[in-house]
Homo-oligomer: A and B are copies of this chain.
Amino acid sequence: MPELRKDPILGRWVIISVERGKRPKDFPPVIHKKKGGFCPFCPGNEYTTPAEIIAFRPEGSEPNGPGWSLRVMPNKFPALEPGGKITKSGEGIFDKMSGVGVHEVIVENPDHFLSLSTMPEKSVEDTLWAYFIRLTELKNDPRIKYVLIFKNEGEAAGASLEHSHSQIIGLPIVPRTVRDELQGARNHFDMKERCIFCDIIYQELAEGKRIIGENEDYVALSPFAPRSPFETWILPKNHEAAFGPRQKSFKPLAEMLQRILKQFDALLESPPYNYIIHTAPFSEEQSEYFHWHIEIMPKLTKFAGFEWGSGIYINPTPPEEAARFMKGTF
């Protein structure tokens, strides 16, 4: 008998096939080899992208030329546009707003053929720093209410260029998914005076069966009600609402993130994936009830009419099983 499970934060149900759980080798590998060819993110082609916002490069090397180890620039085809004022208007029953915002790209390493799982750990650490630097900087733009940091790896997961990169979108609204998560966390806090994420971490560490690994600062786990097989979350063990370094370092987080991605590669033949940094909106960075974390989802199943119509996800791999496979390297 399958099991319906509810995510305690969002109230989102998923259907877990408990008995005939799919194991890693049951998922057909998604071919996802990099072809190469002309790439605007490769060193030497800097002139084909908008001018860089920041770059990590040796002293003395020229902006917008080679030599960098990481580069952040505006997206050439942005979803939202940075120039202009936010205008809000109605159209009878409908509401709209000008699409003001920022859309940036972070090229994590100059090598076209590396991915976040195969590049030097230092590049992953630098990537997290770049996220933090841009997040902090974008706080100064009063038009931006929320900054979404995410990565699409592989074409099937929505990456339109194969050179590994992350994206940052600064939005003039706090998006619905974030609001729902905040609201769920607030409801729990109102009832219990406790952070729901802290409660989850406490229970998961005590039970152990969905824990993938931990270090001094972070824990990686398979959530109780995952939308997709091998969905993995990384959370700071101590309560923190907003994404940032611990004790001025991103090394422990980079190490854990890369270990998880390497384990995906080993188990699932370098699957396409998405990850998203869930952080508090600027106005709630000191929140007692929200707890930042990273949600990573390999793209192994299709979402179709049922998911669209119900918001319920069908997941053929129980998280207890996924955790057992994932904890291999820890």
Contacts and interface: CB of A to CB of B under 8 A. Distances in A.
Interface string A52-92: 00000000000000000000000000011100100000011
Contact of A79 (B12, B80, B303, B314): B314
Given A2-B99, A8-B95, A173-B13, A297 B306 contact: no
Contact of A8 (B6, B94, B200, B312): B94
Given A176-B12, A203-B92, A305 B1 contact: no
A6 B297 contact: no
A6 B95 contact: yes
A200 B93 contact: yes
Contacts of A91: 224
Contacts of A172: 4
Contacts of A309: 148, 150, 175, 177-178, 276-278
A55 to B, nearest CB: 23
14 contacts: A1-B100, A2-B79, A4-B172, A15-B99, A16-B99, A92-B203, A92-B207, A152-B304, A157-B304, A177-B310, A274-B304, A275-B305, A276-B308, A295-B308
